[in-house]
C-alpha cells in the first residue's frame, strides 16, 4: 500500500529530517508512528498525504508515485480542520462538495466518482445527527473530531492518515474515539497510519509501531504489536509489556 | 433589533419632530406631514427619483468596486507575511487619514463627473475592507488549509470553500462600519459641481429654491438610503455570518 524508497526530506536548506529512509506498510495494516516532538512524524504524514514533496527518493502509494494529495487518502488532524463558518453537516459534506466542484477528473476526485452529497449514513454512524445543524464552535471537541472523521470517510478512502487526532480530548472521549476508529478500520478495510506522541495511543492503535528518533531518520525501527485492535487489549498483560518496551526505547533515543 | 421596537422608535422620532415643528411654527422646520406630502408629490411628478438613482448608483458602484479590489488584496496580504510586512507601513499611514480631505484633489484629477465621487467613497471603503479582510485571512490556520487540501481541493476550490467565505465577515463588518461615512461624504461631493444626486437636490431646494419641504424630503430620502444600506448589510451578516455569534 505504502512504500517509501530512500526518502530524503528537509525543510528549505535545513538539516534533513529523513535521509535515505525506506519503509513499507501493507494494505489493511494499522500502523502507529511514535516519537518525541521534532522527530519528523508529522512531516512523514504530510509526505504520505502528498502535501509535502520529498527532496529525494520516492513516496509510492498503491504503486503510484505521489505528487499531490490522492483522492483515496483521508487525513484527520488534531484540531482546526473544520471550517468554523460551516455547520457540522456542511463540514461533513465538504470533501464531496470539493469533488462535485471539480467533477471526476482523476486528480481531485476519482475517475469513477458519481456526484453526491449523501452524508446522512455517516452522521448517523458517528452519532452526529442531533448536532448536524450546529457550528463547530457550538459542539464538543469529541464531536468535532467525529465530524472530521465523517467528512473523511464520506470520501470512501482506502488509506486513513491521522495526525495526533485525539490529543486535545479528555481521556474517556479519547478512548471511545480510538475504539470507534478501530471499528471503522476493520469495517471499511482501511489501511491506518496514526501519528502520535502518546505511548498508550500508539499501543492501542498500532498493530505495528514505527519509532522515529532524533533526525535525520535513516533506518525504520518497528515494533510488532499484533494484539492491538482486539477487544479488551488495553487491560491485557501484552499491552502493558508493549507500553513498557516503547517507553524504554523512547528513553534511549 | 426587533422590528416592533424599530417601528416604535420611528414613530417616537416623528412625533418629536411634529411637536418641535408645532412649537417653532417656522418655515425652516415644516411638519412631517407636510414633508411627507411633498415627498410623494416630488416622487410622482418631480425630479426626486432621478436624483435618488444618481446617488444610489454612486454608492453601489463604489461599494462593489471597493469590495472587488480590497477583498482580494486583503486575502493576499493576510496569507502572505512577506507582502503584509512590505505594505504594512503604507497602510499604517494611509488608513487613519480622513479620506474626505481628498475630495478637492479627486475633483481636480478626475473632473466633476461621477468618477471623482465614486472614487472618494471607494477610498473610504477600500482601506476599511482591506484591513478587516486581511486580519480575517491572517487568522486562518495553516492546518485548516492543509486539511482542506487533503480533501482534494486545489487553488480554485480553496478560494471557493475557504478564502471566499472567510473574507465575508470582514467585508460586511467594514461595510457596516463605513456605510454611514460613505453616505455623508457622498452628500459633500454632491453639493458641489454637479446637477444630479440627493446632495445637490437638498442643497439646491434649500438655498436656491427656498423650498424647505422639498429640502426635507431630500434629507428623508438620503437618510432612508443610508438606513436601507445599513439594514441590507445587517441582514446579510445575520444570514451569512451566523456562526460568529452562536
pLDDT of B139 over the 90 cut: no
State the pLDDT confidence band at B239, using cuts at 50, 70 and 90: confident
Hey, is the C-beta of A144 within 8 angstroms of any chain B C-beta? no
Report whether A34 contacts A41 (CB < 8 A).
yes
3-state secondary structure A191-214: EEEEEECCHHHHHHHCCEEEECCC
Residues in chain B: 246
- Comparing alpha-carbon positions, the chain B residue that sits nearest to A107 is B152
pLDDT of B2 over the 80 cut: no
Q: Quick one: what percent of chain B has pLDDT higher than 90?
A: 61
Report whether B128 contacts B178 (CB < 8 A).
yes
CA distance A127 to A79: 19
Three cell numbers, residue B88: 504594512
Q: Which of A20-24, A25-29, A31-35, B75-79 has the lowest mean pLDDT?
A: B75-79
Residue B161 distance to chain A (closest CA, Å): 8
Report whether A53 contacts A67 (CB < 8 A).
yes
- B70-85 pLDDT tens trace: 999 999 998 888 999 9
- Comparing alpha-carbon positions, the chain B residue that sits nearest to A100 is B157
CB–CB of A99 and B152 under 8 A? yes
φ/ψ bin of A40: left (φ > 0), alpha (ψ from -120 to 50), beta (otherwise): left
Torsion sign over Cα B3, B7, B12, B13: positive
Region A127-145: mean pLDDT is: 93
pLDDT of B150 over the 60 cut: yes
pLDDT of amino acid A241:
93
Residues 42-71 of A with CB under 8 A from B: 46, 49-51, 69, 71
CA distance B96 to B16: 37
Hey, is the C-beta of A73 within 8 angstroms of any chain B C-beta? yes
CB–CB of B152 and A134 under 8 A? no
Within-domain flag for B195: yes
Residues 6+ apart with CB under 8 A from B49: B43
Query: Which residues of A are less than 8 Å from B242 in CB distance?
Result: 135
pLDDT of amino acid A79:
75
Within-domain flag for B77: yes
- The answer, yes or no, to whether the previous bond of A50 is cis (omega within 30 of 0) is no
Residue A165 distance to chain B (closest CA, Å): 12
Interface pTM, i.e. ipTM: 0.85
pLDDT of amino acid B193:
75
CB–CB of B153 and A108 under 8 A? yes
Within-domain flag for B183: yes
Q: Which of A81-90, A104-113, B215-224 has the lowest mean pLDDT?
A: A104-113
CATH number for the domain spanning B62: value is 1.10.3720.10
CA distance A175 to A203: 12
Number of other residues whose CB lies within 10 A of the CB of residue B51: 25
Report whether A34 contacts A212 (CB < 8 A).
yes
Chain B residues interacting with chain A (CB cutoff of 8 angstroms): 141, 143-144, 146-154, 156-157, 160-162, 165-166, 168-169, 241-244, 246
Residue B246 distance to chain A (closest CA, Å): 7
pLDDT of amino acid A192:
96
Total domains, chain B:
1
Residue A110 pairs with which residues in a beta bridge? none
Q: b/e for B210-240, b at 16 or more Cβ within 10 A?
A: ebbbbbbbbbbbbeebbeebeeebeeebeee
CA distance B107 to B104: 5
Q: CA of A226: how far to CAs of A206, A242, B68, B196, in Å?
A: 8, 10, 58, 83
Hey, is the C-beta of A98 within 8 angstroms of any chain B C-beta? yes
The helix or strand, by DSSP H or E, that contains position A5, with its residue range, turns out to be strand A2-9
Report whether B118 contacts B58 (CB < 8 A).
yes
Number of other residues whose CB lies within 10 A of the CB of residue A115: 12
State the pLDDT confidence band at B41, using cuts at 50, 70 and 90: very high
pLDDT of amino acid A231:
81
Three cell numbers, residue A243: 507500553
Within-domain flag for B23: no
Torsion sign over Cα B37, B40, B45, B47: positive
pLDDT of amino acid B244:
76
Residue A24 pairs with which residues in a beta bridge? A3
A114 vs A88, more confident:
A88
Give the HSE-up count for residue A209: Cα atoms under 13 Å, Cβ half-sphere.
30
CB–CB of A79 and B143 under 8 A? yes
State the pLDDT confidence band at A92, using cuts at 50, 70 and 90: very high
SS3 at position A162: strand
Task: Out of B146, B156, B161, name the one closest to residue A51 (CB).
Answer: B146
Within-domain flag for B171: yes
Within-domain flag for B100: yes
Report whether A216 contacts A16 (CB < 8 A).
yes
Q: Quick one: what percent of chain A has pLDDT higher than 70?
A: 100
Report whether B75 contacts B163 (CB < 8 A).
yes
pLDDT of B242 over the 80 cut: no
Hey, is the C-beta of A81 within 8 angstroms of any chain B C-beta? yes
Query: Which residues of B are less than 8 Å from A78 in CB distance?
Result: 143
pLDDT of B246 over the 60 cut: no
Phi, psi torsion values for A8, nearest 5 degrees: -125, 135
Give the HSE-up count for residue B172: Cα atoms under 13 Å, Cβ half-sphere.
19
State the pLDDT confidence band at A81, using cuts at 50, 70 and 90: confident
pLDDT of A253 over the 90 cut: no
State the pLDDT confidence band at A251, using cuts at 50, 70 and 90: confident
pLDDT of B28 over the 80 cut: yes
What range defines the domain where residue B79 resides?
53-244
CA distance B48 to B198: 8
Within-domain flag for B26: no
- B160-219 pLDDT tens trace: 999 989 889 889 998 988 888 889 889 988 987 788 999 999 999 999 989 999 999 999
pLDDT of amino acid B245:
66
pLDDT of B19 over the 70 cut: yes
CA distance B227 to B225: 5
CB–CB of A155 and B151 under 8 A? yes
pLDDT of amino acid A117:
87
Tell me which residue has cell 480530548.
Answer: A169
Within-domain flag for B59: yes
Task: Out of B141, B149, B169, name the one closest to residue A69 (CB).
Answer: B149
Report whether A243 contacts A206 (CB < 8 A).
no
The helix or strand, by DSSP H or E, that contains position A174, with its residue range, turns out to be helix A171-188
Amino acid at each position: 500500500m505504502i512504500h517509501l524508497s530512500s526518502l530524503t526530506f528537509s525543510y528549505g536548506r535545513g538539516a534533513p529530517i529523513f535521509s535515505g529512509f525506506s519503509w513499507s506498510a501493507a494494505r489493511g495494516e494499522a500502523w502507529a508512528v511514535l516519537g518525541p516532538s521534532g522527530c519528523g512524524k508529522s512531516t512523514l504524514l504530510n509526505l504520505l498525504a502528498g502535501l509535502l514533496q520529498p527532496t529525494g527518493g520516492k513516496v509510492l502509494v498503491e504503486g503510484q508515485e505521489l505528487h499531490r494529495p490522492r483522492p483515496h487518502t483521508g487525513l484527520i488532524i488534531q484540531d482546526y480542520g473544520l471550517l468554523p463558518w460551516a455547520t457540522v453537516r456542511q463540514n461533513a459534506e465538504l470533501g464531496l462538495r470539493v469533488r462535485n466542484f471539480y467533477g471526476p477528473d482523476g486528480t481531485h476526485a476519482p475517475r469513477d466518482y458519481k456526484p453526491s452529497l449523501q452524508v446522512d449514513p455517516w452522521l448517523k454512524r458517528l452519532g452526529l445527527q442531533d448536532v448536524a445543524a450546529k457550528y463547530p464552535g457550538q459542539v464538543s471537541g469529541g464531536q468535532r473530531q467525529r465530524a472530521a472523521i465523517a467528512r473523511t470517510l464520506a470520501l470512501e478512502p482506502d488509506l486513513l492518515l491521522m495526525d495526533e487526532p485525539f490529543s486535545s480530548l479528555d481521556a474517556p472521549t479519547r478512548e471511545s474515539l480510538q475504539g470507534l476508529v478501530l471499528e471503522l478500520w476493520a469495517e471499511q478495510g482501511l489501511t491506518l497510519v496514526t501519528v502520535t506522541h502518546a505511548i498508550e495511543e500508539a499501543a492501542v492503535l498500532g498493530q505495528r509501531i514505527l519509532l522515529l528518533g532524533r533526525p535525520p531518520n535513516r533506518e525504520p525501527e518497528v515494533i510488532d504489536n499484533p494484539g492491538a485492535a482486539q477487544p479488551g487489549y488495553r487491560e491485557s498483560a501484552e499491552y502493558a509489556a508493549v507500553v513498557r518496551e516503547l517507553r524504554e526505547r523512547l528513553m534511549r533515543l | 433589533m426587533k422590528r416592533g421596537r424599530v417601528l416604535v422608535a420611528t414613530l417616537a422620532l416623528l412625533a418629536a419632530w411634529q411637536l418641535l415643528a408645532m412649537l417653532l411654527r417656522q418655515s425652516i422646520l415644516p411638519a412631517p406631514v407636510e414633508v411627507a406630502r411633498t415627498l410623494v408629490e416630488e416622487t410622482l411628478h418631480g425630479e426626486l427619483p432621478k436624483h435618488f438613482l444618481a446617488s444610489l448608483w454612486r454608492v453601489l458602484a463604489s461599494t462593489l468596486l471597493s469590495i472587488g479590489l480590497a477583498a482580494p488584496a486583503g486575502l493576499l496580504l493576510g496569507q502572505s507575511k512577506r507582502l503584509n510586512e512590505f505594505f504594512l507601513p503604507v497602510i499604517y499611514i494611509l488608513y487613519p487619514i480622513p479620506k474626505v480631505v481628498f475630495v478637492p484633489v479627486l475633483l481636480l484629477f478626475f473632473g466633476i463627473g461621477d468618477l471623482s465621487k465614486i472614487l472618494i467613497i471607494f477610498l473610504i471603503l477600500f482601506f476599511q475592507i482591506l484591513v478587516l479582510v486581511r486580519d480575517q485571512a491572517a487568522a486562518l490556520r495553516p492546518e485548516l488549509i492543509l486539511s482542506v487540501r487533503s480533501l482534494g481541493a486545489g487553488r480554485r476550490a480553496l478560494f471557493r470553500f475557504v478564502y471566499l467565505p472567510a473574507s465575508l465577515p470582514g467585508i460586511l463588518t467594514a461595510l457596516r462600519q463605513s456605510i454611514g461615512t460613505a453616505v455623508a461624504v457622498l452628500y459633500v461631493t454632491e453639493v458641489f459641481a454637479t446637477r444630479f444626486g440627493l446632495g445637490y437636490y437638498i442643497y439646491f431646494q434649500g438655498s436656491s429654491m427656498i423650498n424647505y419641504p422639498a429640502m426635507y424630503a431630500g434629507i428623508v430620502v438620503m437618510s432612508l438610503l443610508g438606513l436601507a444600506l445599513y439594514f441590507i448589510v445587517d441582514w446579510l451578516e445575520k444570514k451569512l455570518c451566523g456562526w460568529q455569534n452562536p
